[in-house]
Amino acid sequence: MSKKYTAKRIKLDELVLDKENPRFAELYNGSDKEEEIIEYLLWTESANEIAEAITTAEEYYDDRPLWVYKDNGKYIVKDGNRRCSAVKALQHPNYYKLSHPKFEIKELPVLEYKELNDLETRIRLEHNSNLFKKWGRIAKAIEIYRLFSSGNSIDSLTEIDSKPKDFIKTATFYHKAVELKGEDFKKLVREGRGKTGGKTIIFERLFRERKHCGYSFKNSGELFIKNKELFESYINAIVPYLIDNPDTTSRTLDEIYKKGNSFLDLLKPYGFPPDTKPSTTNSNSSSNSSSASSSNSSNNGNNTNDGNDGSNGQSTNNSQNNNSSTNTNSGGSSNNQNTTNTRHSVKSKPALKRKQIPSALKRLIEETYKLDQNNFANAKTALTRVSFECTLKFIVENTNKTNGKPINTSNHFALAYKSKSHKPLPYTNFDILKTKFTELITNTGIRKAFEDFDLQRSHQIIHNYRVGAVPADAKGICDNLIDLIEFMLQDENDLLNSIDLAKL
């Protein structure tokens, strides 16, 4: 049987640290600059201890090869980033504030894997045994949840830890808290130096207070929000409290509870609980439907679609728009019937809820819906496609996952930007971008609307002088775009709650 890897030695400057490494990708919030990644690994992931061990031994042991994968001519370190960063730091110890002398190492032993899947499987198996046990609790929780979201069963995850549900609780709480407080929350749960980090245990101990904080956990361990306003108030209060009170430890909590008091009382000066009595959503709904229902309620009045599939209640909204129109035109039954059967009789353009939409995109959408279809049918049809593509490109490249990175950085969208040989395309492949985005949508009705929206019809009108648009077609295509634009340009958090993040 042929080996899946080749053992070799690679020059140090040809080895690239993997910013996407699951051990720290969620917690790291720096740039792609190598020196920032090294700095993080040294002082947050304890790579400085490895640097000390290397200088003490006065050698880098050949029996600790890095596991790498060659991509576009670069050797990406998929396992051994801390070791690699320690060696790189020892080439310039003063720059990285190391107390060790310079220790020159020009090349390192590696195992270069031929197939990335083989390497990732090897890493997973290794983590399941001994390396994984050395990870910090929050990094371990994030990786366990990633494996769970990728289809691994709870039972299979017991090979990593006997209580995987506890880690899933921590990871899903982490993701929700990061959405609200970002880097401030990340700093609190990093292992790191000093008193500011290492607060994961505090948040876990406070899970006992969850019913007073607007959230709970499913049987799988996943967090779901029962009361959005209360939960957000809790996160927005506890994060600044712990920043202001870095000496807080689990022992602090024990002392408070022994006296029969509640830790939550300390959060009152920070605005928790909120002054106004928040509305409670259906406790059987997932957090996805909570956020989505809230968004659509503000868009279209009463919304009763509260399903667990993350749907945003679009079908219900459509019905309500039509019923509203029918009641308004009560002067005659024929008018009522016609209005009810006309899909967008009361909405002539989309409502945009997204914050910080580029002004050029707003103007483009506005112009699309203002253009007269009777005199400019071709132009209106052309602008409809341009508006769709520009909106899609904007939200894919500017909607961030919980780790702070845009969703388009996921391999899910790779072929929209790169060829099959991984070379960057000189243009965005919108057919693939549309298809891959559509696959993420959890609401069946909205997903079908995206699937049915035909880019080729407008493409023909734009580029083929033998094909023209008629006013009815121009208006129909434009009307069909309303739901799509509103879905894409809803509030960013609601959008994230309406797509399947496990695929990214």
* pLDDT of res. 162: 76
- Output the pLDDT for position 332: 37
pLDDT the model gives residue 321: 39
Which residue's entry shows tokens 């797509």?
A: 499
Q: What is the pLDDT at residue 132?
A: 54
pLDDT at site 215? 95
Q: State residue 135's pLDDT score.
A: 66
Residue entry with tokens 């980090």:
197
Q: Which of 398, 405, 430, 401 is nearest to 415 (CA)?
A: 430
Nearest residue to 342 via CA among 314, 323, 327, 328: 323
Contact present, 181 and 236 (Cβ < 8 Å) = yes
Distances (CA, A) of 100 to 43, 44, 53, 106: 14, 18, 10, 18
Q: Are 9 and 22 in contact (CB under 8 A)?
A: no
Question: How many other C-beta atoms lie within 10 A of the C-beta of residue 210?
Answer: 17
Does domain 5-135 sit in CATH 3.40.50.300?
no
| Global confidence as pTM | 0.38
In angstroms, the CA 54 to CA 105 distance is 10
Residues of the chain with pLDDT under 70: 1, 22-31, 124-135, 159-160, 191-197, 276-346, 462-467
Query: Scanning the structure block, which residue is given the tokens 């996943």?
Result: 222
Alpha-carbon span 215 to 207, nearest angstrom? 9
To the nearest 10 degrees (0 to 180), the angle between helices 471-488 and 359-370 is 150
pLDDT of residue 134: 59
**Cross-sheet strand order for the sheet of 74-79:** 5-11, 107-113, 66-71, 74-79, 15-17
Q: Hey, how many other C-beta atoms are within 10 angstroms of the C-beta on 206? A: 18
